[in-house]
Amino acid sequence: MTELTERKVDPQTLGPLTLAYLGDGVYEVFIRQHLVESGIARPNQLQRKATHYVSAKAQAKLMTEMQAQKLLTETEQAVFKRGRNAKSYTHAKNTPVGTYKISTGFEAVFGYLALKKETQRLSELASWCIRQVEQEETDHDA
């Protein structure tokens, strides 16, 4: 077996779709851990609940709210724009292209922060997203 070696990668030199690829997984782990820790144990319930957080529509809505509240730093905003404006040859089924582009920008921010090893900031943004989704669900149920 070979030992895994970690290279230092400058996220500024990576394409936005590469950042989004990583960010998709990073954000998903935050959500999965949150859902399991909240007491949901059945895989089908976990999957169904996760879509409220990780779908392109949910991510686009979260990003729009982040921007409205000016939560992103200047650098994060620039990374978002790179991700949103990236030329992608695929998009999510049953999702408008504009929504998909915004969600790609959202994921690019998470990928960028992960590569910069900004774990505190990642946690802050993921926690904010979780609170937003849960508040919306509470408001919707009321």
**In the predicted structure, residue 4 carries a pLDDT above the cut 70:** no
Q: Specify the range with the lowest mean pLDDT, choosing from 5-19, 41-55, 77-91.
A: 5-19
Tokens for 124, please give them.
Answer: 């802050």
**pLDDT of 5:** 60
Coil/strand/helix, residue 140 = helix
* Structural domain count of the chain: 1
Domain assignment of residue 74, yes or no: yes
Domain assignment of residue 91, yes or no: yes
**In the predicted structure, residue 128 carries a pLDDT above the cut 60:** yes
Q: Which residue has the higher pLDDT, 77 or 141?
A: 77
Domain assignment of residue 92, yes or no: yes
**In the predicted structure, residue 141 carries a pLDDT above the cut 70:** no
- As separate numbers, helices (DSSP H) first and strands (DSSP E) second, the chain gives 6, 0
Whole-model pTM: value is 0.90
Domain range for 39 is 15-141
Domain assignment of residue 136, yes or no: yes
Catalytic positions are: 24
